[in-house]
Amino acid sequence: MSVELREISKRFGEVQALAAVSLSVAAGELFTLLGPSGCGKTTLLRTVAGFHRQDAGVVSIGGREVDEVPPHRRDVGLVFQSYALFPHLSVAENVAFGLEERRVARAEIGPRVERALAAVRLEDLGERRPDQLSGGQRQRVGIARALVIEPAVLLMDEPLSNLDAKLRVETRSEIRALQQAAGRTTLYVTHDQEEALAISDRLAVFEAGRVQQVGAPNEVYRRPANAFVAGFVGRMNFLPAARAPELAGAAHQLGLRPEDLSLHPADGQLSAPKLAARVRARVFLGPVLQVRLDCGEGLELEVEVHRPEPSAWREGEEVQVELAPERAHRFAADGSRVEPPE
């Protein structure tokens, strides 16, 4: 089922948590709300769930306006950031709880709980109590609890935030696979840009209650709409236009990603636009070498060298960094993206 948000605003006292947010999520889509802490992600999710009423704007689910519909009749399932399981109930009883609350027939509950536990690969652990599970398993119970009610729309608020880095990556692939198999419309909240790129069909980048950009992961990464998005999604070096006027045109600021810069020896002949720099620090990470450059006048750049020579680019070495004009992002003084002249 599609989810349509039209001009949603919500204020808490002095804080404008949401400012005229409009988004259209297609049926079956995994759509992510991405942004820094406090930008309004949870507020928006709770508005869709019906836990609080927006000051202005309209929420529609499956083409029906739901503003007067209470949470339990909106056909949404919510996975909370803290999984909030009942400690004294078994895993299976935790999962069954939402069905009992909705007065689903007894005979139906058992099979549905089994299906939901199988979906998150916990079919053998139904009898355990939550304190007998790992963090990742508990998180999966939280997901099963939302899946079991077979909601038209699944809402997930930072569902991986309590997991360690490795489990986070594994569990996010599982969530994606489950979502794809069921074709369930999912609104997914995270402040982790890598997670958002990895899991989403499309994402919306938020700052301070406002949508900054909506697009597929590759669109947002390759063509950030403004300097905020450019700096928040992936890493970006920002250069004042005066440091590379041949690239900047009328722009105020340039953005170049670490993988789009390349290093050359200080004495090499380079016709491309370049800056003189000194290597400040190098971090060898196996497939890539991260090199931090001091370009003078307070400008530092980060360069990523792929498949590095072991001895390449020593600390203190004088180098030239090549600036590829076709890879540069250009921003106006107000941060908005500027396209280069043809």
Ligand X SMILES: Nc1ncnc2c1ncn2[C@@H]1O[C@H](COP(=O)(O)OP(=O)(O)OP(=O)(O)O)[C@@H](O)[C@H]1O
Establish if 12 lies at the interface with ligand X (CB under 6 A).
yes
Question: What residue 28 binds from ligand X, Mg ion, none (CB within 5 to 8 A, per partner kind)?
Answer: none
Q: Among 39, 91, 149, 263, which residue sits at the site for ligand X (rule: CB under 6 A)?
A: 39
Contact 251, 338 (CB under 8 A): yes
Spatial separation of the C-alpha atoms in residues 52 and 342, rounded to whole Å:
49
Q: Among 32, 42, 137, 200, which residue sits at the site for Mg ion (rule: CB under 5 A)?
A: 42
Spatial separation of the C-alpha atoms in residues 252 and 237, rounded to whole Å:
14
Candidate ranges 34-42, 98-106, 214-222, 240-248; the one touching Mg ion (CB under 5 A): 34-42
Candidate ranges 39-47, 111-119, 197-205, 236-244; the one touching ligand X (CB under 6 A): 39-47
Spatial separation of the C-alpha atoms in residues 221 and 9, rounded to whole Å:
27
How far apart, in Å, are the Cα atoms of 39 and each of 21, 33, 213, 219? 12, 10, 14, 22
Q: Residue 123 has what DSSP assignment?
A: G
Spatial separation of the C-alpha atoms in residues 47 and 50, rounded to whole Å:
5
Q: Among 1, 3, 8, 17, which residue sits at the site for ligand X (rule: CB under 6 A)?
A: 17
Establish if 139 lies at the interface with Mg ion (CB under 5 A).
no
What's the closest the beta carbon of residue 41 comes to Mg ion, in angstroms? 5
Give one word for 315, left, alpha or beta, with left for phi > 0 and alpha for psi -120 to 50. beta
Establish if 271 lies at the interface with ligand X (CB under 6 A).
no
Establish if 41 lies at the interface with ligand X (CB under 6 A).
yes
Question: What residue 37 binds from Mg ion, ligand X, none (CB within 5 to 8 A, per partner kind)?
Answer: ligand X
Establish if 43 lies at the interface with ligand X (CB under 6 A).
yes
Residue closer to ligand X, measured from CB, 161 or 290: 161
Establish if 191 lies at the interface with ligand X (CB under 6 A).
yes
Establish if 38 lies at the interface with ligand X (CB under 6 A).
yes
* Closest among 208, 214, 212, 245 to 330, alpha carbons compared: 245
Contacts of 124 (CB under 8 A, 6+ apart): none
Spatial separation of the C-alpha atoms in residues 51 and 209, rounded to whole Å:
18
Question: What residue 43 binds from Mg ion, ligand X, none (CB within 5 to 8 A, per partner kind)?
Answer: ligand X
Q: What is the helix (H) or strand (E) element at residue 196, kind and residue range?
A: helix 193-199
Candidate ranges 25-33, 41-49, 61-69, 226-234; the one touching Mg ion (CB under 5 A): 41-49
**Residues near ligand X (CB under 6 A):** 12, 15, 17, 35, 37-43, 191
**Residues near Mg ion (CB under 5 A):** 42
